[in-house]
Structure 1
């Protein structure tokens, strides 16, 4: 896991590295700037391109000055530097790097308070005005200049964070933030990069290591973790010789109605493809032909819309409920029956979540260790309206603790909130997966992993990662515009085998 630190903790990591490596702060700035340039020159090879570097007078601005000088040393000499000197303060490292920059031939211009923006002729802008220490909205000159730069059709590359961006905490809806095509960020992604509010302001980001103390970072208490491939490789179990279908559990997927049998088929198929020894789909009579035709490996438990079927609850190792069920009285009866008769963790998705939202007293009946998998709208129906993803993050932690359950809050970097109020951000998936049925597949994956005796927390971390990884393996190498859920399902055994190889 990569511990994700908030801005105050990252500054402490800077200070610790400076004191214990030891290294001077200006040399650490130089190292960070070289890391930035190393990535930059590999992706922007045109050395004749006109580049404007906008710098504040703090350490982010100092980074910008050093970057301009180092780029010039790499023969990027069509560079001009604009210093936003909107107050009389400047950091010592900024002053030091400015002194070194003045020994070069790079043009330096100072922008004074009240200066109106003039035409920017550069093709590419490097933003080093304000960094991760920002804790208030942009005002006055900074606001004017950021609004002006946003009005241009220029490529913008931000140093560490875009000017005006809040790296953690709520991002005010009226915040003025420089829109960056690329952010080259130092040491680790910032928390808010992983939340949807970053979307309008950051097209993509890349991390460059700058040598901050890994020991300090790894021992700094934080509830936020980024899941990496090695974490999932350690979680996935080996399928050993002399095992059989009984070894890998019996999963029950309660899903589908007449009009939405596709959801049931996707969930059941994903469950089987993820490795459950046996999979049974609890479906209406009308879905039998579709199930038997498309998935002969999956057994059926036929249910009537108006009554709960006779279920031998103890024979099932796991249960997933919700995809395509509809918000009907029958769904409520099914949910109540599951909670009454089954005391193992349950995967709760889609319409089962919607029924829970309409019947909040049932939340207290959820079996311990269960997994709830809402998207944003389902989450807000369950736990009340939120105005930001940071609010949802805090609510997810509190509710996971209160319900003694796991909450998977789906988005680009899907978040698993745990009963001990930790948050695991997933690092796989892509926009080609943004299509109906993907959540049904995830429900099947999670139900399958629970059947195979994975702990609920491990099932969440591995299941979400595998789901996204299968999509990445299909979409990214092949440049696919859309990946359908059935493609993901068929890829699952390959993805899991590669992770365990």
Structure 2
């Protein structure tokens, strides 16, 4: 998995690369400017596009000056450069690139106060402030950021939006550029994956600037980004002479009179993800629907024939989707928590039962997997004002209780008992519809039933779930459609190895 680093660690990587490769910092800056410009020109290929580049006087501004020169040399004819000269200080790299800019006949305009002129450019490149910022922006910089956010131009930020906090709590009141695109250097910043970043970053692209990969991988970081190659390494091809018993037996405890759809989605996802056998533990009213929609799924009627002496025959158990809150279901979940010998996947109504009986957390089998969305998480562990706070709490609770917590969002955080946070990059806003979580639960329990380690089951289920949704050819991806896509997309990820 890709190490995600703090801004301090990335600066250390810069210094290490400069030393190891025996290059100057201005040469590394030139490499970054070329990488940025390659992506930018692909996004804005029309060379008559009017572009204003706003530069601070630090290294981020130095990047902006080098980018201005690169664009001019590539034939972009409507380039203007504006320097926010709010201090007498400037980095050596900024000064060097300012001299180089004169060689291509671009004369920058200096801004020394808050009397900003009207801006008519179609695209603004934001190179005001970089990752070295240690406090919220105030004064003239704040005024300039607020001015730029009001103009109709598209804004493309260099490395990060100016004023953005790369790690730790994101202050919603902080002045930060609202970028349409951020072209970031080498690695995405940790906070790019937190929901509060949405105001500052509509989308981001990564520009490889050649930092030492071995050094990056060797840094200590709790945050890891899941990549396709990681998933490919975990997935196992099906061997000759395999049979249904090879791939385990998953039990889905779900559904009530009004919410059988959740049980059906969860059970079908378990089957489509590859469990050899799937049994749904459902109320009697759901049997006809189960048989009609998914004849491959076996059924246990909860009120008639379910006993916990049967638990031993299941390789993995999931509970909660559409389960309801009857006295019978509360007792059922309690017995499952106390008596199960295999890790459980706990979702939806079962999570809410846990939130009212926190003593059950300690009794869950080790490496059980909780799959809360934001509100379910806060019911379990208390109200939080920031997502950074939620992730910190998840790290603490996962370690205390030897659990895996799958904290669902656009970018889902998979928090391991050792404190590592694996961030899932796949998914799409088209998946924002009821029932998606039920599908995810079925996928995770399926991988558990097939014999994958709990941490790998959580990674596989989350990544493939998002991959199925982001590749769906429609404005909305209904959960029932996503389920049908699962085996096709698993084969696609594995490539030739699935045979």
| TM-score normalised by length of structure 2 | 0.98
The equivalences for 1:97-112 within 5 A come to 97-112=97-112
Shift in Å, 1:308: 6.5
Structure 2 equivalent of residue 171 of structure 1: 170
How far apart are 1:107 and its partner, in Å?
2.8
The runs of 4+ residues in structure 1 deviating greater than 2 Å are 307-311, 327-331
Alignment-derived partner of residue 66 in structure 1: 66
Instruction: Tell me the equivalent position of 1:238.
Output: 237
Q: Is 1:77–1:106's contact at 8 Å kept on the other side of the alignment?
A: no
SS at 1:199 equivalent = helix
The residue aligned with 2:350 is: 352
2:432 equivalent in structure 1: 434
Q: Which runs of 5+ in 2 are unaligned?
A: none
| Cα distance in structure 1, aligned partners of 2:180 and 2:80 | 20
Aligned-partner SS, 1:110: strand
Whether the aligned pair in 2 keeps the contact of 1:321 and 1:352 (CA below 8 Å) is yes
Q: Find the aligned partners of 1:239 and 1:139 in 2 and give their Cα distance.
A: 59
CA drift of 1:138 comes to: 0.9
State the secondary structure of the residue aligned to 2:349: helix
Q: CA deviation at 1:77?
A: 2.3
Other structure's SS at 1:355 match:
helix
3-state SS, counterpart of residue 99 of structure 2: helix
Q: Is it true that 1:23 corresponds to 2:23 in the alignment? A: yes
Aligned to 1:121: 120
Superposed displacement of residue 311, structure 1: 5.0
Distance in 1 (CA, whole Å) between partners of 2:155 and 2:492 is: 37
**In structure 1, how many angstroms separate the alpha carbons of the residues matched to 2:195 and 2:114?**
34
Contact 1:331–1:355 under 8 Å retained in 2: no
1:172 offset after TM fit, Å? Answer: 1.1
Local SS of the residue matching 2:199: coil
How many residue pairs match? The answer is: 495
Cα distance in 1 between the residues matched to 2:46 and 2:328: 64
Structure 1: gaps spanning 5 or more residues:
none
Deviation at 1:472, TM superposition (A): 2.2
**1:445-467 residue CA offsets vs partner (Å, 9 max, x unmatched):** 01111111100000011110111
Q: Is the 8 A contact 1:308 1:330 kept in 2?
A: no
Could you tell me how far apart the structure 2 residues matched to 1:414 and 1:473 are?
A: 17
Q: CA deviation at 1:309?
A: 4.5
> Does residue 285 of the first structure (1) align with residue 279 of the second (2)?
no
CA distance in 2, matches of 1:162, 1:67: 16
2:33 is matched with 33
Alpha-carbon shift at residue 304 of structure 1 (Å): 2.5
Q: Write the deviation string for residues 149-195 of structure 1: whole angstroms up to 9, x where unpaired.
A: 11111100000000111011111121111100000000011111111
- Partner residue, 1:483: 477
> Is the CA contact (8 Å cut-off) linking 1:308 and 1:334 kept in structure 2?
no
User: Structure 1 residue 330: deviation in Å?
Assistant: 2.6
Matched, 1:447 2:441: no
- Residue 206 of structure 2 aligns to a residue whose secondary structure is strand
1:211 paired to 2:210: yes
SS in 2 for 1:175: coil
The separation in 2 between residues aligned to 1:2 and 1:374, in whole angstroms, is: 24
Work out the CA distance in 1 between the residues paired with 2:91 and 2:213.
26
Cα separation, 1, equivalents of 2:109 and 2:75: 21
Counterpart contact for 2:266–2:442, Cα < 8 Å: yes
Given that residues 251 and 319 in structure 1 are in contact (C-alpha distance below 8 angstroms), is that contact kept between their aligned partners in structure 2?
Answer: yes
Q: 1:499 aligns with which of 486, 493, 499?
A: 493
Cα displacement (A) at 1:339: 1.3
Q: Match of 1:150, SS?
A: helix
Of residues 386-395 and 99-108 in structure 1, the stretch that sits farther from structure 2 once superposed is 99-108
Using the alignment, how far apart are the partners of 2:306 and 2:276 within structure 1? Answer: 25
In 1, Cα distance between equivalents of 2:121 and 2:140: 21
For residues 27-83 of structure 1, the C-alpha deviation after alignment (integer angstroms, 9 at most, x for no partner) is 000000000001111110111111110000000000000000110000112111110
Residue 32 of structure 2: SS of its match in structure 1? helix
Q: How far off its partner does 1:310 sit?
A: 5.5
Q: Any residues of structure 2 matched to 1:53-452 within 5 Å, and which?
A: 53-112=53-112, 114-304=113-303, 309=307, 311-452=309-450
Query: Alignment partner of 1:188: what SS?
Result: coil
Contact 1:308 1:337 in 2 (8 A): no
Tell whether the 8 Å contact from 1:160 to 1:186 is kept in structure 2 after alignment: yes
Range moving further from structure 2, 56-65 or 386-395: 386-395
* Distance change in 2, residues 1:310/1:24 (3 Å): closer
| Displacement of 1:116 | 1.5
1:13 aligns with 2:7: no
Offset at residue 122 of structure 1 (A): 1.2
Select which of 444, 460, 463 maps to 1:462.
460
Deviation at 1:331, TM superposition (A): 2.6
Q: Is the 8 A contact 1:79 1:107 kept in 2?
A: no
Q: For each residue in 1:353-396, what CA deviation from the matched residue of structure 2 results, as whole angstroms up to 9, or x when unmatched?
A: 11111111111111101000001111111111111111111111
Q: Look up the SS of the partner of 2:38 in the other structure.
A: helix
**Aligned-partner SS, 1:207:** strand
Give secondary structure in 2 for the equivalent of 1:498. Answer: helix
Question: Are the equivalent residues in 2 in contact too, given 1:429–1:469 (CA < 8 A)?
Answer: yes
In the alignment, the residues of structure 1 paired with residue 40 and residue 404 of structure 2 have an alpha-carbon distance, to the nearest angstrom, of 40
